[in-house]
Homo-oligomer: A and B are copies of this chain.
Amino acid sequence: MYKRIDHIGIAVRSITDALKVYRDGLGLTLVRVEVVADQCTRVAILAVGESRIELLEATAEDSPIGKFIAKRGEGLHHICFQVTNLVEEIARLKAAGLRLIDEAPRCGAEGRLVAFLHPSTAAGVLVELSQVSAQATNSSE
């Protein structure tokens, strides 16, 4: 069910500064920079193997990333696994007793469907699940 690590999200104060490390220093390839307006977040996406690194910069202090940095400083924020059918996976995880932030898929960047597990259910880790194609959610209908 879990095909790969889709991406690792890193909360950063400044994408400009973080790119000096992750792109210019480590040499990862910058795919693009985009704004996720409803999360008040600017995202720089870098490619590595079958996965990506997402540098997450708050565009407002009371955004999720802004609050995270105010509380914990910069650093690893979440991990995202790619799944094939998010509706089925949410149902499976709920039946297994895991605590979800999203009990139904919601729209993420790039037309993806996403859902988050609560960190309290996953050893303190904010876990995101992502499905590339929305069509697959209806595969069992």
Which residues of A does B touch, CB under 8 Å? 1-5, 8, 10-13, 17-18, 21-22, 24-28, 48-51, 55, 72-79, 81, 93, 96-98, 119, 121-125, 127
Copy count, this protein chain:
2
- Would you give 12 A-B contacts (Cβ < 8 Å), ordered by A? A2-B27, A2-B49, A4-B49, A4-B50, A5-B49, A10-B125, A11-B123, A24-B96, A26-B81, A74-B123, A75-B123, A75-B124
> Of B5, B72, B98, B124, which contacts A51 at CB under 8 A?
B5
Contact check, A8 vs B8: say whether CB atoms are below 8 A apart: yes
Q: How far is the CA of A73 from the CA of B77 in the complex (A)?
A: 14
Among the interface residues A3, A5, A17, which one has the most CB atoms of the partner chain B within 10 A? A5
Contact check, A73 vs B2: say whether CB atoms are below 8 A apart: no
- B-side contacts of A97, CB under 8 Å: 25
Which 8 pairs of residues, A with B, have the shortest CB-CB distance? A4-B49, A74-B124, A75-B124, A76-B76, A12-B123, A18-B123, A74-B123, A25-B96
9 further A-B contacts with Cβ under 8 Å, apart from A11-B124, A49-B50, are A3-B48, A4-B48, A5-B51, A10-B125, A17-B123, A24-B96, A75-B76, A76-B124, A76-B125
